[in-house]
Amino acid sequence: MVTSDRGFTAFPRFDELPVFPETRERHAWGVFGEDDELGTLNHLTDERVARSSRLIESGIRVNLNLPIDEPRRAYWAPWREGRLARTVRVHGRSRDDYLDGFFLQGSSQWDALSHHGYRRFGFYNWLQEDQLEEGKLGIDRYAVRGIFGRGVLLDVAAYMAESGSPIDLQTRFLIDGPLMERVADWADVALEVGDILVVRTAWLEWYRTLPESLIDVLATNFSADPQSAAWPGIDPGIATAGWLWDRRISALAVDNVGVEAVPYLSAEGSVHHRLLAMLGMALGELWDLRELSATCAELERYEFFLASAPLNVPKGAGSPANAYAIF
């Protein structure tokens, strides 16, 4: 049971959460305690982590991370492009190396709760910029315990292809709660409290195959009009946020940029605002899910033990995911 001095006596349903003044937006600030800095990762209790470890049967391990220098072009974030450089220092038979231009959110990643706030209300649990500078909500809060639990692959790309309506990876395709339910049923997997949902659109697989000439076109179009970018992702609507909250999902990772569907439409809102800032839900981006999809299909099993070790970077707004699925 969750209690707090905000008046919650049991874990609240989404429609029981308070609403920010002057908005229609519900938030979970205070649900896990007013000093909390983990948000929905609190669902990953010791008992749930221990139980999920029993999913390890064969010992098959699947890497969920891109090489740290990919994606090779990030036209949606031009300040990240072309800056990662590795330097090697040789001392006789000893070698050291270091990276310059290493963006913590430049490849397969987790966003910290300090990554996005919401309007004048601040960041998760009423925290403000000066408190973030003091170290609140940094990615090191995730790193202290790591992110371990039951992972569930919702292979939306495979489901849609088998249904005869493959996703057009250059359009804004919304993945909402009912669709995620259908994909879970298709995979014969029941969602449980504390699950780490891993959602595959296949966008990253498509993007990694593009010739440089086509990426140049996408970059030019984006520079002229950011709304020209389009790809599938999580529906930003209130109903989808409520669906994830009521199922007590601990974290959500997707194989696209930004988790949400693009282009961003202000009238519909933002996944980052509703999930990360308002509900305190950990978000992962650009996860490499091709091998995971193939492994799950081969084993006919879409649940696994997920292990992730974010970097222990004080005040960090994000980190490489360092994530693996273990069967």
pLDDT score of 98: 87
> Does the residue 26 lie in any domain?
no
> Does the residue 20 lie in any domain?
no
Helix (H) or strand (E) holding 4: none
Helices (H), the chain: 46-52, 129-133, 140-145, 156-162, 177-186, 203-208, 212-224, 238-246, 271, 290-299
pLDDT score of 9: 54
pLDDT score of 2: 36
Instruction: Give CA–CA dist 137/115, Å, rounded.
Output: 9
Alpha-carbon distance values, 91 to 85, 98, 99, 254, 302 (Å): 20, 14, 18, 41, 47
Closest of 156, 249, 239 to residue 199, by C-alpha: 156
Instruction: Give CA–CA dist 222/77, Å, rounded.
Output: 10
pLDDT score of 5: 38
State which residues form the domain around 163. 38-326
pLDDT score of 3: 35
Going residue by residue through the chain (327 aa), what tens digit of pLDDT does each one get?
233 334 455 799 999 999 999 898 999 999 999 999 999 999 999 999 999 999 999 999 999 999 999 998 898 988 777 778 999 999 889 999 989 989 999 999 999 999 999 999 999 999 999 999 999 999 999 999 999 999 999 999 999 999 999 999 999 999 999 999 999 999 999 999 999 999 999 999 999 999 999 999 999 999 999 999 999 999 999 999 999 999 999 999 999 999 999 999 989 999 999 999 999 999 999 999 999 999 999 999 999 999 999 999 999 999 999 999 999
> Does the residue 29 lie in any domain?
no
> Does the residue 16 lie in any domain?
no
User: For the chain, what is the domain count?
Assistant: 1
Cα-Cα-Cα-Cα dihedral sign, residues 142, 144, 146, 149: negative
pLDDT score of 81: 73
10 Å Cβ neighbour count for 173? 20
Q: In whole angstroms, what separates CA 285 from the centre of its chain? A: 5
> Does the residue 8 lie in any domain?
no
**Is 0.85 topped by the overall pTM?**
yes
> Does the residue 305 lie in any domain?
yes
> Does the residue 1 lie in any domain?
no
Instruction: Give CA–CA dist 166/160, Å, rounded.
Output: 5
What token pair was written down for 214? 């086509």
Domain with 85 in it: what CATH number? 3.50.30.50
pLDDT score of 78: 82
> Does the residue 263 lie in any domain?
yes
Helix (H) or strand (E) holding 71: none
